[in-house]
Amino acid sequence: MKRVNFVWMLLVAFSLIMSACQPAVETIEVEKEVVKTQVVEKVVEVEKEPSEEASFSTPHPILSDVRVRQAMAYCTNKDEIIQAVYPFLSPEERAELVMDTFIPKNHWAYAGDENVTIYPFDPEKGKALLDEAGWTDEDGDNVRLNAEGEPLMLELVLTEAPHRKILAPVWQQQMKACGIRVIVNHVPSTWLYGDTTGLARREFELTDYAWVGQSDPSGRTLYACDQIPTAENNWEGQNIMGWCNPVASQAIVKATNTINQEDRKEPYKIVQQEFTKDMVSLPLYNHLEIFASNPNLKGFNPQPGEEYYTYNVAEWEIPGKDTIVIGFTQEPASMFALVEQGLSAVIANSLVHGLAFSTINYDFQGIAQKVPSTLDSGLAKNLDVEVKEGDLVYDVDGNPTELKAGVEVYNAAGEVVAFDGTPITMKQLTVEYQFRDDMVWSDGTPVSAADFDLRFKIDCDENSGATSFNTCRSIQSYEVNDTGYTVTYLPGVQDPLYFRALMDPRLSNVYPAHRVLSDGRKLVDVPAEEWATLPEISEFPIGVGPYILKEWVKGEKMVFEANPYYYGGAPKTKTIVISIITPDNAEAQLLGGQVDILDSTTLNTISDTMRKAADEGKIKLYTLPGGTWEHIDMNLYLP
């Protein structure tokens, strides 16, 4: 087993996207019975229509008080949680996994301990804050009541992932020691991460999950005021806490809309200061990325910084076998990547669609995208343009705005200026994105300009079901050709990741415009609101990647066969199977040879059984530096 360099591990770069998000298949309702000395919980699965209530405008009676949120942070022993999840780590290694903000300590954007609020494990300080907030424990039985005699009780919603089954009771006991009753409710991932349930509709008080790290801190969709999902905005955005701190909101927009890295450090510091002061989300720890495989598997090589461990799947092989089986404990609910962004769906999609680029060791390497579209390569230009009244520009809050008196923008020098009728010089990016000219759909049809054009039309249609349209709204115009597209962004857009193909490494959002559906229509003619329910999109899409999805037996398996038109050449293994297994039998399936790979969505720790099997050469273990971080979010408002 490889040793992990834990100091280097924290030199990761984050791009925060939701981990393991999965569209809804079923919904649940929780029934709780509470007595003063004991919490009894019961989960009842029922059919329930998605909530379409008005915006969340009622402050949560408990969590809206910052003193309660801060008390929970002081009452959390992060080292104890990490030790429970990763019992094989030393105290020093555990300490290096601790997160205090949404950025790790050795990252270039970390604000520094002296600039943020740190919450060391100090239950006495936590108890004092709870007393101050009016939640007292008069008889010393660790049950806190308010003036009305109501108990301090909150529900924690999280998935049944193995590490969360370990984490939850530890944190529950830590809160109980401070007089906070936490009801743990493990729910199906398809509900929690669904696009019409769970997190997307803010159906929680407390929730534990993870964000997946990539090559940039990002964060606008998570922390800006205009990214709070509500019924009124069609649940757009990922700021599920309902956190609106104007200082942090403007800073996160600045941090994610500035090309120069040095200029981004100060706004990121401001966001982290406000984030930790307000304590709306409790960071816990960085994940280790753990994989296990058949010891004879060749080519399988998960790397730090690369979320898509299938980046080289065409090179995988087991001598003497024509099939490789990956065990998934979380089944994709859909293959429509625009609405289904969970890691299980991401990996399945990467087999069919391939990748535009990889980010091994947090560095860009082109795959289908020829080269980075950078200023240095000449494929991007950042020109000074003059804007006048009535022009559409990107304002300081990161919103497309018609320029008129009083509108604040960043001028070409990066200064905030208010428009007073005098034309302003601003920066404007124009970027050409070039792809391989030998890309062919798995039905043998070459990729064309119409396919790239359909990508913009669907992804930017607000009826498509996407959770964010920030990128679409930042575009002034675009042109397509048979090998890519050129985008001119609004004046004021300075996205630091401008050089990538609109920031998504997958090619799953390039669509085969020519494809004929079972009802006789061409895909190009189907309205966006129908796409999520099209079998040709949600179940059996075609792509330009190394494999074709040939069979999907729901709840059992997904079968992928080699794509004869793959531009990278014939894959070494004819068939890849994703076998849907349970967390309880995952290790047995690997050790018994029923599956060949278990990935990091299943293996969040290494059991004694797995370590022994690795020592005996029965399996191979991989442990990698992880950019993914676990955290507990707090919902500040009720509908």
* pLDDT at 76 > cutoff 90: yes
Find out whether 161 and 188 touch, Cβ atoms under 8 Å: no
Q: Token digits for 70?
A: 């801060």
What are the E-state strand segments in 37-177? Answer: 38-45, 58-59, 153-159
Q: What is the model's pLDDT at position 91?
A: 93
Q: What is the model's pLDDT at position 8?
A: 30
Residues 135 and 74 in one domain: yes
Q: What is the model's pLDDT at position 213?
A: 63
What confidence tier does 543 reach under pLDDT thresholds 50, 70, 90? very high
316-325 pLDDT, tens digit per residue, is: 999 999 999 9
Q: What is the model's pLDDT at position 503?
A: 53
**CATH, residue 379:** 3.90.76
What confidence tier does 507 reach under pLDDT thresholds 50, 70, 90? confident
104: Cβ contacts below 8 Å, ≥ 6 apart: 10, 11, 12, 14, 110, 286, 629
Residues β-bridged to residue 578? 326, 558
Average pLDDT over residues 242-261: 94
Q: What is the model's pLDDT at position 572?
A: 98
Residues 258 and 390 in one domain: no
In Å, how far from its chain's centre is CA 586? 24
Residue 130 domain-assigned (yes or no): yes
Residue that terminates a domain, selected from 450, 470, 489: 489
Find out whether 88 and 185 touch, Cβ atoms under 8 Å: no
Q: What 8-state DSSP symbol labels residue 227? A: G
What is the widest separation between alpha-carbon atoms in the chain?
A: 75
Residue 480 domain-assigned (yes or no): yes
Q: Which of 9-13, 210-214, 218-222, 304-308 has the lowest mean pLDDT?
A: 9-13
Unique residue bearing structure tokens 């407390």: 206
Q: What is the model's pLDDT at position 81?
A: 97
Residues 114 and 255 in one domain: yes
What is the distance between the alpha carbons of residues 402 and 393, in angstroms, rounded to a whole number?
Answer: 6
What is the distance between the alpha carbons of residues 499 and 520, in angstroms, rounded to a whole number?
Answer: 38
Residues 220 and 135 in one domain: yes
What is the distance between the alpha carbons of residues 566 and 141, in angstroms, rounded to a whole number?
Answer: 66
What confidence tier does 501 reach under pLDDT thresholds 50, 70, 90? low
27-51 pLDDT, tens digit per residue, is: 222 222 222 222 223 222 323 343 4
Q: Token digits for 289?
A: 């990325």
* pLDDT at 11 > cutoff 60: no
What is the distance between the alpha carbons of residues 449 and 359, in angstroms, rounded to a whole number?
Answer: 26
326-337 pLDDT, tens digit per residue, is: 999 989 989 998
Pure H helices in 144-225: 162-177, 189-192, 220-223
Residue that terminates a domain, selected from 489, 521, 555: 489
What is the distance between the alpha carbons of residues 155 and 125, in angstroms, rounded to a whole number?
Answer: 23
Average pLDDT over residues 67-75: 98
What is the distance between the alpha carbons of residues 380 and 152, in angstroms, rounded to a whole number?
Answer: 55
* pLDDT at 296 > cutoff 60: yes
Residue 16 domain-assigned (yes or no): no
Residues 280 and 332 in one domain: no
Find out whether 62 and 154 touch, Cβ atoms under 8 Å: yes
Residues 570 and 455 in one domain: no
Q: What is the model's pLDDT at position 528?
A: 95
In Å, how far from its chain's centre is CA 602? 17
Find out whether 333 and 9 touch, Cβ atoms under 8 Å: no
Q: Which amino acid is at 210?
A: A
**CATH, residue 152:** 3.10.105.10
What is the distance between the alpha carbons of residues 333 and 325, in angstroms, rounded to a whole number?
Answer: 19
Residues 68 and 100 in one domain: yes
What is the DSSP track for 426-474?
A: EEEEEEEEEB-TT-B-TTSPBP-HHHHHHHHHHHT-TTS--S--HHHHT
Residues 134 and 257 in one domain: yes
Smallest Cα–Cα separation from 573: which of 291, 313, 346?
313
* pLDDT at 12 > cutoff 80: no
Task: Please name the helix (run of DSSP H) or strand (run of DSSP E) that holds residue 272, with its range, or none.
Answer: helix 261-278
Residues 197 and 295 in one domain: no
Residue that terminates a domain, selected from 489, 513, 531: 489
Smallest Cα–Cα separation from 491: which of 421, 423, 432, 410?
410
Residue 471 domain-assigned (yes or no): yes
> Model-level pTM?
0.72
Q: What is the SS3 assignment for 261? A: helix
Residue 433 domain-assigned (yes or no): yes
Residue 241 domain-assigned (yes or no): yes
429-486 pLDDT, tens digit per residue, is: 999 999 999 999 999 999 999 999 999 999 999 888 887 788 899 999 999 999 999 9
Residues β-bridged to residue 292? 598, 621
Q: What is the model's pLDDT at position 626?
A: 76
Q: Which amino acid is at 229?
A: P
Residues 281 and 293 in one domain: no
What is the distance between the alpha carbons of residues 356 and 375, in angstroms, rounded to a whole number?
Answer: 19
Residues β-bridged to residue 580? 328
Average pLDDT over residues 499-511: 73
Q: Which amino acid is at 177?
A: A
Radius of gyration of the chain (CA): 25
- Mean pLDDT, the chain, whole residue set: 88
Q: What 8-state DSSP symbol labels residue 369? A: B
Q: What is the model's pLDDT at position 26?
A: 24
Q: What 8-state DSSP symbol labels residue 352? A: H
165-176 pLDDT, tens digit per residue, is: 999 999 999 999
What backbone phi and psi angles, to 5 degrees, belong to 173?
A: -70, -35
**CATH, residue 317:** 3.40.190.10
Host domain of residue 82: 60-287+629-638
Residues 298 and 268 in one domain: no
Average pLDDT over residues 284-312: 92
Residues 299 and 390 in one domain: no
* pLDDT at 7 > cutoff 60: no
Q: What is the model's pLDDT at position 22?
A: 30
Q: What is the model's pLDDT at position 333?
A: 87
What is the distance between the alpha carbons of residues 256 and 252, in angstroms, rounded to a whole number?
Answer: 6
> Of all residues in the chain, what percent carry a pLDDT higher than 70?
90
> Of all residues in the chain, what percent carry a pLDDT higher than 90?
71
How many structural domains does the chain have? 3
Residue 154 domain-assigned (yes or no): yes
Average pLDDT over residues 564-579: 97
Q: What 8-state DSSP symbol labels residue 155? A: E
Residue 464 domain-assigned (yes or no): yes
Length reported for the chain: 639
103-118 pLDDT, tens digit per residue, is: 988 788 999 999 999 9
Q: Which of 126-130, 191-195, 248-252 has the lowest mean pLDDT?
A: 191-195
